[in-house]
Chain A
Amino acid sequence: MAARVETPRRTPAPRFGLPNLGVGVGLRTTHYEHLLSEWPEVAWLEVLSDNYLHTRGRPLEILDRLAERYPLAMHGVSLNIGSTDPLDLEYVRELRALRERIGARWVSDHLCFTGVSGRNTHDLLPLPLTEEALRHVVRRVKAVADVLGERLVLENPSTYLEFAGSALPEWEFLTAVAVEADAGILLDLNNVIVSAKNHGFDPETYLRALPLERVVQMHVAGHTDHGTHAIDTHIGPVPDAVWSLYDRARELGADASVLLEWDAEIPAFEVVHRDALRAEARVARAAGF
């Protein structure tokens, strides 16, 4: 008689050595009070890194308390990875200190530049997607990882313009950066939808080109469609188009942590969390449960 072989319980494979944290919510100040008084069940929270630097007060005190109860990951907008300014290594060291303080699972930022000549626009400005920019970004991602003491995770931004001299589509540029600099990818599905509308490409083309084994996190969010173009406003529930792309990403193998971002007209925490949990329901439905 053949030995009975038990089917092992399927656990999400760690991506890139990083855990799949499940479905989380972006931490916003408007939810501090609810989180600290109700301690709702939520798989993890994404922290906007820059709000917790250059402070010694209340934001850090709150983050310390949340870090005791929830897994956290850090997400920033000021790494300025594509800028021709010298890398701000002091900023990277501050990120590392914050990561160690709160036990953040990973640190992410955007594939863009935010300023040059010492100025910070606090906006995610598009890079010319050229060989020169690729070499430049790869060098800097490696340098950041050296100071961080871990691999960097890079997000595809929403973009509203393209340079006439760009030589690569964004998905090829992001893939090349991730592979050559050994970086993780934060796949923002809403940004793919927004950029697809603004530049006229097929969102699935983007997904199919990415090394999905490097995707450690996915963002879902809402946007504002102006007809002629779309803006990444993080407003409202996640639209169907983004969820459909999420389903497609899962089918193609992007089995990674999911995070919902909601930044305009932010409703109660439960509303945001409930919308995020639609990700789990879609996975269950796709699996026939």
Chain B
Amino acid sequence: MSKPAAMPELERAQTWLLSVTTDPAGVSAGIRHAASLGVGVLEASELERLVTPGPRLTALERVAIYHEGYFARLVECLLDDYPAVAHLLGADAFERLAREYITATPSRSPSLNAYGRAMPDFLRARSEPWSAFAAELAELEWALVESIHSEAPSPLAPAALSAVRADDWPHVRFAPSPALRLLAFRYPVNPFYQAFRSGAEPVLPPPEPSHVAVHREGMTLFRHDLTPLAARLLTTLTRGTPLGAALATLERDSSPSELALVQSHLSDWFGTWLSAGFFTALTLSP
């Protein structure tokens, strides 16, 4: 057994242990990488100067328990947030991806609720054949997480709608629910997600633009597919644009056939959005 090192000061000991147990290359490499921290341990063979062996484990094996636990815990957290991405990639590839994410994105928060937030961008920056779709799928899954953690106030009351005078409608602004997320995709993300949730084995789909609204009402999360026109109007309204101006913008940017579609579906769209609780209040713009 090597000669015990003098106990390093507390901060140095903590920095060393964190550095070694979070090193993506493993504990032995972590010990070498942490040599400059000045705890008197330069190689794994010198570890017993700092960490005692246990009754049945070496010092290295004892440190390795923490190393394994660190990555396993955060992989599990990401798996909770991104089960559909994990299905798309397969268990092993997802774990490799998650470990890269964990190394690139160490947690700096006391809560893990938002730990996976950067995953869509992390996937978008990659160049595998699946990464563009996986990034959009992650965006949908993260929108679901955000909706869970956002307030979902009561939907706009019918009385508030019936109180609006006919000539005031163009000036109405709708307040979107904080739990509402509108997403525009290059791939059919929601059908893939729905198939995954139904227990099917969906595979990487070819590109096909799609739009989805994610919302929460009480304990339940909802995903609503939107047509491109409905998505355009809803997006404009949720930015606080008065109804009259939003419809004028849609009219200006639409072809005659699209306009016909708007006219025939407008009432249905609003019926769905209002009953789903997308809006929680309305105000009249000056």
Q: Does A57 contact B (CB under 8 A)?
A: yes
CB nearest neighbor in A for B108: A118
Distance in Å from the Cβ of A241 to the closest Cβ of chain B? Answer: 16
CA distance A286 to B49 in the complex (A): 47
CA distance A56 to B113 in the complex (A): 11
Most buried by B among A80, A123, A166: A123
Distance in Å from the Cβ of B141 to the closest Cβ of chain A? Answer: 16
Beta-carbon contact of B69 and A123 below 8 Å:
yes
Given A164-B49, A231-B65, verify A91-B110 contact (CB < 8 Å): yes
For the complex, would chain A's binding face be called helix, strand, loop or mixed by DSSP majority? loop
Beta-carbon contact of A57 and B147 below 8 Å:
yes
Given A56-B149, A162-B52, verify A119-B18 contact (CB < 8 Å): yes
CA distance A162 to B14 in the complex (A): 13
Beta-carbon contact of B18 and A55 below 8 Å:
no
Beta-carbon contact of B51 and A164 below 8 Å:
yes
Beta-carbon contact of A58 and B216 below 8 Å:
yes
Beta-carbon contact of B110 and A50 below 8 Å:
yes
Q: Does B25 contact A (CB under 8 A)?
A: no
Q: A15-54: which have CB < 8 Å to B?
A: 32, 36, 50-51, 53-54
Q: Does A160 contact B (CB under 8 A)?
A: yes
Tell which of A126-134, A178-186, A243-251 binds the partner.
A126-134
Most buried by B among A57, A126, A130: A57
Beta-carbon contact of B54 and A229 below 8 Å:
yes
Q: Residues of A contacting B216 with CB < 8 Å?
A: 57-58
Could you say which of B56, B151, B179 contacts A228, with CB atoms under 8 Å apart? B56
Q: Residues of A contacting B22 with CB < 8 Å?
A: 119, 121
CA distance A121 to B109 in the complex (A): 10
Given A58-B216, A125-B66, verify A51-B51 contact (CB < 8 Å): no
CB nearest neighbor in B for A57: B149
Q: Does B59 contact A (CB under 8 A)?
A: yes
Beta-carbon contact of A55 and B149 below 8 Å:
yes
CB nearest neighbor in B for A79: B110
Q: How large is the interface on A (under 10, 10 to 19, 20 to 34, 35 or more residues)?
A: 35 or more
Beta-carbon contact of A121 and B113 below 8 Å:
no
Distance in Å from the Cβ of B62 to the closest Cβ of chain A? Answer: 4
Q: Does B165 contact A (CB under 8 A)?
A: no
CA distance A166 to B5 in the complex (A): 11
Q: B23-72: which have CB < 8 Å to A?
A: 48-52, 54-57, 59, 61-63, 65-66, 69-70
CA distance A196 to B66 in the complex (A): 17
Given A56-B149, A120-B108, verify A125-B14 contact (CB < 8 Å): yes
Q: Does A252 contact B (CB under 8 A)?
A: no
Q: A70-107: which have CB < 8 Å to B?
A: 76, 78-80, 82-84, 88, 91
CB nearest neighbor in A for B115: A122
Beta-carbon contact of B11 and A84 below 8 Å:
yes
Mark contacts of A225-241 with chain B using CB atoms, 8 A cut-off: 1 yes-contact digit, 0 otherwise.
00111010000000000
Q: Residues of B contacting A57 with CB < 8 Å?
A: 147-152, 179, 216
Q: Residues of B contacting A136 with CB < 8 Å?
A: 10
Could you say which of B56, B73, B74 contacts A229, with CB atoms under 8 Å apart? B56
- A residues near B (Cβ < 8 Å) are 32, 36, 50-51, 53-59, 61-62, 76, 78-80, 82-84, 88, 91, 113, 115-123, 125-128, 130, 132-133, 136, 160-167, 198-200, 227-229, 231
Known: A84-B14, A121-B70, A122-B107. 13 other contacts (CB 8 A): A56-B151, A58-B149, A84-B11, A119-B107, A122-B112, A123-B69, A160-B66, A161-B54, A161-B66, A199-B55, A227-B56, A228-B56, A228-B61
